[in-house]
Amino acid sequence: MTFAEAIRLGSVLRPQAFGDTFGKKKRWFRKPETTSCALGAAIEAAGVQWLPDTGGGTNITVRGGVSAGMAWMFPPEWNFTSTHELCPMCRVNSTIIGLIEHLNDYHHWSRQDIAGWVEPVEARLTGARACQIKAR
């Protein structure tokens, strides 16, 4: 599964979060519903683990938070997300993972649109192509 596919798959599981990887959406007279940003959607769909940070990898804090010794253990094929690119909207230069959050939180892009932006970037940097299913 590519990163773009993971965003798309995870986005059908929950409403979109803004400002948090996983958030809570208040609902009248019912328990709050868990929400996910574009990154949270990919994390959930790919089954990424939240584990003690061993300090061996690249630590990227996408929203300026403190990891408190824990980190998402991204699969190695997602390493391309530490590459710098320009925001397609405002041309700010950031890591791809930072731009995923930027497009989600600042420009309020849908997770489907974010997946559509990252898909050709991922293909260019990794050669990974989303699975194509053709009906006959």
Q: What residues make contact with Zn ion under the rule CB under 5 A? A: 87, 89-90, 92
Give the shortest CB-132-to-Zn ion separation in angstroms. 29
Distances (CA, A) of 42 to 10, 28, 76, 77: 6, 28, 14, 13
Of 70 and 92, the one with the shorter C-beta distance to Zn ion is 92
Q: Least CB distance from residue 100 to Zn ion, whole Å?
A: 11
Give the separation between CA 105 and CA 94, rounded to whole angstroms.
Answer: 14
Smallest gap from residue 118 Cβ to Zn ion (A):
14
Residue nearest to Zn ion (CB): 87
SS3 percent helix, strand, coil of the chain, rounded to 5, is 40, 20, 40
Whether 82 and 95 have beta carbons less than 8 Å apart is answered as yes
Choice between 57 and 120, CB closer to Zn ion: 120
Nearer to Zn ion, 13 or 89 (CB): 89
